[in-house]
Structure formats: structure tokens, C-alpha cells
Amino acid sequence: MGKIVLLVGGVGGAKLAYGLYHTMPPEDLTVIVNTGDDFWHHGLRICPDLDTVMYTLSGLVDKTNGWGVANDTTHALDAMRRYNSDEWFRLGDKDIATHLLRTQWWHEGITLSEITRRLASALGISCTLLPMTNGEVPTIVHTQEYGTLGFQEYFVKHRWQPTITSLEYLGADETNPAPAVIRAIESADAVIIAPSNPWLSVRPILSLHGMTDLLISRDMPRIVVTPLIQGNAVKGPTAKLMGELGLSTTPTSIMTYYGAVINGFLGDSRDESVTSAPESVQIRFADTFMDSDEKRITLSKYILQWLTDWNAS
């Protein structure tokens, strides 16, 4: 099935990354990760989605949460609270190691792509893991209740409860994707968009300078895996956000949103009866609920088979 590029956000995307990683030759897989969530916190450069994917692929991840390192402690965080510090972002002790090395290298002028390569390689990850860009493109959330919030303030501090009035991908259209990202898409045989939040996780990637045009220009399968099952997200604010944006939580809304970027849609089998697609989009259905490693792999095999069929037709 050739070279595959997967666009992902955090927890949901990491599950599909895990499935593909264990189903296909890892050297043919490139995972491009949203960095719109990245932020500075206590002087540390924190990249939540990159870390989630890295911990998931390396097997270090805390499987209960879907993020963070398994069996991590919070001794540093507890000690910070002793200093009367208001700590709303969970920093595990092992997790801090990732942030410390990344921050040190960042200050030394090393690109986030290279930093990510070093970290992932040390953890034994054999596919290519890439930040969407080496620049800083923070996602800004405008809310009814709190005005403008940084993404992590919205998502973690306020547990995605505020009502979103609009989103901003600050500086995205003037910021280039990482060079390796462009090369990966140029040489890919297929692009898969993970069932990550289309507005919060995938759009930051698509908003980068030239990214949408680059994707559309490539004549290959460009498939999104539905982030909705029966009108709800498996986790996180996708459905809630769609409501706030005045959209119905249907597969059709998702396809319309992605527009010409996609030419394939993998819906959930539970939604087969309610889904209609434009002619330009091939459509299939599968069980997209990945609540076990086995189901991640089963879904990945289904996708890879589809790509084989696609290329044969």
C-alpha cells in the first residue's frame, strides 16, 4: 500500500497511529502531529499531542488516561503546590523529563522536528513522527464566558466547558509546515486524517501556509476517519463544539467541513443509514470505536485493505 501519512491530534489520533504502526511497515508510516496545542508553562516547551502520540507508540503511555506516562508520579507538581502555585496542568515527573530536554534543545536552536526525532528515536519508535511545523502557531479559543483563552486554558484548566464563539490559528497562514512534512506529503501514496477533533486538532495542520493546496494537489486517497459515532465524539468536545458552531453532528457535516481536502470518508458502521456523501467522496463504513489495541489494529487493517482496493480500481 506504499507510504502513508497520518494527520493526528492527541488521544483519538494516537489510537489510530498505534493501529497503523502495528499493522504496516513502520518505515512507510509518517505521523504528522498538531502542535497548535503547544504552549510555554513554567518555562517549559510542552507539546501535548506530540507527547501523547510518542508515549502511545513507544508503549509508555498511561492507558487509562490515554496521555501521560504510565505509573508516573507528581512529586514535582505537589512540591510546586507547596509553593502556593496554582497548578492546573498535570506534569508527571517522568513527563517533565521530556519537557526539560525539549526545552533545552529548543533554546539551543534545534528544530522541533529534530527534537522530536531525538526523543522518539531514543524511545525506539521506528516510524517517522513529525510536528506539523517548526514554528509556533498557537490555537486561540474565543469563548463566551472567559473571552480569549489559550488552548490549554480552554481544554485543561476549564475542561472544555466554555462556549466557543470562534477559533484562531495564530500565524498559521504565514507559517510553513516543517520541511519534512512537505516532503512526506509529496511522496505519500495516501493521507489519512485521524478521528481527531476537526476544528481543534486537524484544522491547525490544514491552516499552515500552503498545506491545503498541497494536499488537494496530490492525486491519492485522502481519507478522513469519522470523529463522530452516532452524533457523539468518543472523547472530547467535537460534538459540543459543532453545536456551538451551529452545525449538526452528522457525517455529512464532517465531509462538508473537510471539503476538497478529502476524497474518502470512513464512517462508523452505526451511522451507515444516515450518511450521504458528495460524488467526489468515496465512502465506507467500519467499526471505528477503538477501545482496545485489537480494535485499533482491526480498523487499521480495514483502512489498509481499502487503500489496496482503491489503488487497484
Report the interface residues with a copy of itself, using CB under 8 A: 42-44, 69, 72-73, 75-80, 82-85, 93-98, 100-101, 103-104, 106-107, 118-119, 122-123
As measured in angstroms, the least distance from the Cβ of 110 to a copy of itself is 12
Please count the other Cβ atoms lying within 10 Å of the Cβ belonging to residue 298: 16
> Measuring CA to CA, which residue among 158, 126, 169, 159 is closest to residue 37?
169
CB of residue 6 vs a copy of itself: minimum separation in angstroms? Answer: 24
Least distance (Å) between residue 123 CB and a copy of itself:
7
Least distance from a copy of itself to the Cβ atom of residue 27, Å: 21
| Least gap, CB of 118 to a copy of itself (angstroms) | 7
Can you tell me which residue has the cell 504496516? Answer: 24
Shorter beta-carbon distance to a copy of itself: residue 7 or 46 = 46
For the stretch 219-222, contacts whose Cβ atoms lie closer than 8 Å and that sit 24 or more positions apart, written own/partner, are 220/188, 220/189, 220/190, 220/191, 221/189, 221/190, 221/191, 221/263, 221/264, 221/282, 221/306, 221/307, 221/310, 221/311, 222/190, 222/191, 222/193, 222/261, 222/262, 222/263, 222/264
Give the chain's length.
313
Is 131 or 227 the residue whose CB approaches a copy of itself more closely?
Answer: 131
CB of 109 to a copy of itself, least distance (A): 13
Q: How many CB atoms lie within 10 A of CB 148?
A: 13
CB-nearer residue toward a copy of itself: 98 or 196: 98
The three grid cell numbers given for residue 261, joined into one nine-digit string: 481536502
All residues at 6 or more sequence positions from 179 whose CB lies less than 8 Å from its CB, including other chains? 113
| Residue with Cβ nearer a copy of itself (120 or 208) | 120
If the CB atoms of residues 134 and 143 are measured against a copy of itself, the closer one turns out to be 134
β-partners of residue 129 are 31
CA 5 – CA 223 distance, rounded (Å): 10
Residue 79's contacts (CB-CB under 8 Å, 6 or more residues apart) are none
CB of 89 to a copy of itself, least distance (A): 12
Burial 194-231 (b: 16+ CB within 10 A, else e): bbbbbbbbbbbbbbbbebbebbeebebbbbbbbbbbee
**Cβ closest to a copy of itself, residue 118 vs residue 301:** 118
Residue placing its CB nearer to a copy of itself in the complex, 73 or 144:
73
